[in-house]
Structure 1
Amino acid sequence: MHAQAIAPTAAHPKATVVFTCVLAALAGLMFGLDIGVIAGATQFIQAEFKVGDHTIEWIVSAMMFGAAVGALFAGWLSATLGRKRSLILGALLFVLGSLLCGLAWSPASLIAARVVLGLAIGLATFTAPLYLAEVAPEHIRGAMISTYQLMITIGILVAFLSDTALSYSGAWRWMLGVIAVPGALFLLGVLLLPDSPRWLMMRGRREEALGVLRRLRGDAEVVAREAADIEEQLRTPQRGWHLFRENANFRRSVGLGVLLQLMQQFTGMNVVMYYAPRIFKEMGYDTAAQMWFTALVGLTNVLATFIAIALIDRWGRKPILYTGFAVMAAGLGVVGAMMHGGIVGHGEQIFTVAMLLVFIVGFAMSAGPLVWTLCSEIQPLKGRDFGIGCSTFTNWVCNMIVGFTFLSLLNGIGNAATFWLYAALNLLFIGLTFWLVPETRGVTLEQIERNLMAGRRLREIGR
């Protein structure tokens, strides 16, 4: 199905572009569901299969391993099949992996099913932000890409609520398997998407690309100018690996994308997403309270993401990152201090939960959506697939490390020191943001590329 799939809204280009971006961002919903669903299931999996914390770390982190592998191939698939067909493939794998998780008969089979899910997520996390960057006009690009992060948070919340409802019966198979239903709905929805006009141009399908641009932009002058910009850049074909070897400026943008994803993952956010019930257990709560507070974490994550969507194209990327990292460092620092002193009494429990929620707000308003936004903006067109592939691969490798080490850290250095470690990393990220991260608000992708290739310092390529 080509661009004509969205023809009924062609008379309203603003509505069309929002519809297209939101539907593509539903890939984030799939991602969020799978992040969230495992948190509530681990204690029941542990009880049924009679396994220890180390096996649980394998089950949790298997998805991230699959995602890292999926990210390695996502660039090639996105360039060859197109952004739309890559999203379709990701949806198919998501449905398959979800069903296999629900039917798992052993820890090994569950780990294998989680790897399949990871392949789907790795493909989607590469393709969706790339697609969004290519279809959204620059003046709302940040907000549209942030809808991807919003969908992740909504998916996490829905998964947490589902886990809470099913926790009373301990039905962990239903927790993991039921997310095949929204996966199937996403598969149907993504069939309505147009192909990326940039990808169509890359494949020599100019008339189709112009048709999509007309529906997405409406204004003939804007369409002509954007088409001309794309064609100018496409005179040299996509050669990411060659460009990486030959061009030091491109290596800088790839390195920045890798660093940004490392910063996002080592904030400690996914520690909370994967192990929230365990963290609340460390605070002294029983199973029912653990699940409801986990759902509250998901709700806070959703609501705070609206802060980023509201501010990203007004306030700018860097001020939001500074604020977010500072809030996260403060939140985790206080949680560590409370655990170090010993949490006694209901008042101290509630205060510690509140500070953990402050940390969640800091992430959801800053590093969560902004890192994906920046990674899609800083890579030049000719190496964009390669650059985003490298940063997405890094995301999942770091994500896997976080998922695979948290319980070991708790058992090794203690809960207070574990949270202090992540607080210290967030303070470090404030400095890295100042020295290396550019402000890209309101700047076209083409201008960012020109500044990068002219050799300007990374922090200045958005000027």
Structure 2
Amino acid sequence: MTTINPTNINKGRFWIDGPQTNALVSDVFIFITGGFNLAVSLGWSYTVYSLHFYYCWFIGVAIGCILAPLLINWKRRRLFIVSPILLVILSAILTASVYYSTNTLIAARYLNGIAIGLTSVSFIMHASEIASEHSRGYCLCLEQVGLVGGAFVQILYTGYWGSDVDFSPYCLQGILCAVFGVIALLLTFTSIDSPILHLQHGDEPVALNCIVRLYRPPVMTNEKQVIFNKLKAYVEMNESMSLRQCFMQSLGPLLRILPYRCMLSFIFALPIADAFKWSEGVSTAGSLVNWPPSIYGLLGALGVIVTFATIEPIGRKAVSLFSLLCVGGLTIGVGIIFNDTLALINSTKMAIACSLLMIAQIFGGIFAPSTTVYLGEAFPLRLKRYFIAFVILVQYMVDLIIVCTFTFSPNNMFVYCLVTGLIMCVACIIFALTMPETRKNTLQEAQQQFSYGLHLRFY
């Protein structure tokens, strides 16, 4: 391939790396449909159904996570994304057309959960491989952008839905998910294969062509040859390790990434949603407009946007750990308020609890994207998809356990908030010493960073 070295192009990194983000847009719309169902599982449902209805989506995600590592290593991985998109569309059609049948809604939620499990593993693998060290944070943030965006819409219309509306909220959800599924299907034409995957299969010319398409301008340059050489060295380094070496090198990152990701199950959880709905119901009793849920959902989305804007200029570690510490402290504060039974009917104290939960929501949104970024950087290549799938599976199983075991009461809220708040605060201190700052690191450099146990640098 002829190499040229253009000298008249003076563009920023956003312009150069733009195709990398564009290649992942279809996944975002799949995650938006997952955000709808995640919010329902965490209690944001206008109609109360059986317990099975709420936890079935988590089981679906687990099934998808189990299947994904076996399927995503196709030579043309991006064709794989069509499968979960079709599952999303089928789930949406069932939801919109047979919304009056609980069993059909449960089946639809299983299908969407499987789609999200498949997409999550595929997306994190693919985004980490196609993104440069300058845009990997932005690209991997898109998972949480989609999930939080979908959850916000679900919270929004659940909060404003009235009994006088002659239309099922699940019919609306099905229509929206079908629209997003079709958009995702149409946007698959922007997808670009992973050069790392083709290098693993020995297809160097195809890998080089992928690199040319992933960076603007779409012509071969000396800079792209350097990128190709770096990726080739990364693949060769990982292929030189035996499976045993790869497994042993993955255990250290796993011990840090698994609890780090599971913090999401404590931050965005059924007990927190129950506490918010109770506190805002008491504090706004008599109000004509039920405005707190919309602000609550908006603040979570705003937190993710803040991280999206800062994760590369500032970094992953400092902002996310500060946010986790804030969430832990605020959660403990909410628990202390709920420990007083009389406070549950005191509008002033419930207004305070509602405000604390709103503030915690924005800090939770700031923390969430870093879990996906670290998940895409931590593990050696040969077993990476299996460990990513395992971490995501465990995270949603923690969600399932909380949903199945929690019953709202003042004492239970106090115990949950106190325990999870303390866990987050203690975990924050541990993560401050053990999590690396991988800003501007190549995948090979990030992998080497995770092989060390102690990390004191915050920037």
Superposition TM-score tier, normalisation by shorter sequence = 0.7 to 0.9
Shift of 1:345: 4.9
8 Å contact kept, 2:18–2:215: no
For residues 301 and 293 of structure 1, the distance between their equivalents in structure 2, rounded to whole angstroms, comes to: 13
TM-superposed deviation, 1:377:
0.7
SS at 1:44 equivalent: coil
2:90 is aligned to 96
| Partner Cα distance (1:44, 1:284) in 2 | 22
Query: What displacement does 1:39 show?
Result: 5.8
Inter-CA distance 434–237: structure 2 relative to 1 (3 Å threshold): closer
Q: Provide Cα deviations, 1:61-98, integer angstroms capped at 9, x if missing partner.
A: 11011101101111221112644223221111112123
Give SS of 1:155's match: helix
Report the counterpart of residue 154 of structure 1 in structure 2.
149
What does 1:48-447 correspond to in 2, within 5 Å? 55-56=50-51, 58-80=52-74, 82-102=76-96, 103=98, 106-168=101-163, 169=165, 171-178=168-175, 179-218=177-216, 220-235=221-236, 243=243, 247-265=247-265, 267-271=266-270, 275=274, 278-280=277-279, 283=282, 292-341=291-340, 342-366=343-367, 368-406=368-406, 408=407, 410-411=408-409, 413-447=411-445
Tell me, yes or no, if the aligned pair for 1:156 and 1:298 is still in contact at 8 Å: yes
Cα deviation 1:245-274 (Å, max 9, x = unaligned): 764222222333323222332x33133686
Provide the C-alpha distance between the structure 1 equivalents of 2:240 and 2:457, rounded to a whole number of angstroms.
22
**What corresponds to 1:29 in structure 2?**
32
- More displaced 10-residue stretch of structure 1: 336-345 or 91-100: 336-345
Q: How many residues align?
A: 437
Aligned partner of residue 71 in structure 1, secondary structure: helix
Please give the alpha-carbon distance, in whole angstroms, between the structure 1 residues aligned to 2:43 and 2:396.
21
Tell me the distance in 2 between the aligned counterparts of 1:288 and 1:110. 33
1:362 and 1:340 map into 2 onto residues whose CA distance is 23
Deviation string for 1:389-426 (max 9, x for gaps)?
Answer: 222222222222233233x2x24943333322322221
How far apart, CA to CA, are the structure 1 residues paired with 2:200 and 2:247? 21
- The answer on whether the counterparts of 1:27 and 1:128 sit within 8 Å (CA) in structure 2 is no
Residues in 1 aligned to 2:456 and 2:82: alpha-carbon distance in whole angstroms: 37
Q: Normalization by structure 1: what TM-score?
A: 0.83
Match of 2:6 in 1: none
Taking the aligned partners of 1:95 and 1:181, their CA distance within structure 2 comes to 8
Q: 1:324 to 1:413 in 2, by over 3 A?
A: same
The separation in 1 between residues aligned to 2:101 and 2:318, in whole angstroms, is 47
1:79–1:153 CA distance, 2 compared to 1 (3 A)? same
**Shift of residue 292, structure 1, vs aligned partner:** 3.8
Over the aligned positions, Cα root-mean-square deviation in angstroms equals: 3.2
Matched with 1:9 is: none
Q: Which amino acid in the other structure matches residue 196 of structure 1?
A: S
From 451, 456, 459, give the equivalent of 2:452.
456
Task: Give the 3-state SS of the residue equivalent to 1:92 in structure 2.
Answer: helix
2:271 and 2:182 mapped to 1: Cα distance?
A: 28
Q: Offset of 1:24 from its aligned partner?
A: 3.9
1:67, 1:244 → 2: CA distance?
28
Choose between structure 1 and 2: higher helix proportion: 1
Preserved contact between residue 88 and residue 191 of structure 1 (Cα < 8 Å): no
Is the contact made by 1:253 and 1:387 (CA closer than 8 Å) also made in structure 2?
Answer: no
Of 32-41 and 140-149, deviating more is 32-41
Return closer, same or farther for 1:161/1:310 CA change in 2, 3 Å cut-off. Answer: same
Kept in 1: contact 2:196–2:235 (CA 8 A): no
Distance 2:67 2:237 in 1: 22
For 2:423 and 2:245, the matched residues in 1 are separated by 31
Asked if the contact 1:234/1:382 (under 8 Å) is kept, the reply is: no
One-letter code aligned to 1:456: Y
Partner of 2:22: 19
The AA in structure 2 aligned to 1:323 is F
CA shift for structure 1 position 451: 4.8
Shift of 1:288: 8.7
**For residues 206 and 155 of structure 2, what CA distance do their matches in structure 1 show?**
42
Letter in 2 for 1:140: S
CA drift of 1:235 comes to 4.1
Displacement after TM superposition at 1:324 (Å): 1.1
| Separation in structure 2 between the aligned mates of residue 360 and residue 372 of structure 1, nearest angstrom | 18
Distance in 2 separating the partners of 1:287 and 1:88: 48
Q: Structure 2 regions of 5+ residues with no counterpart? A: 1-14
Amino acid at match of 1:99: I
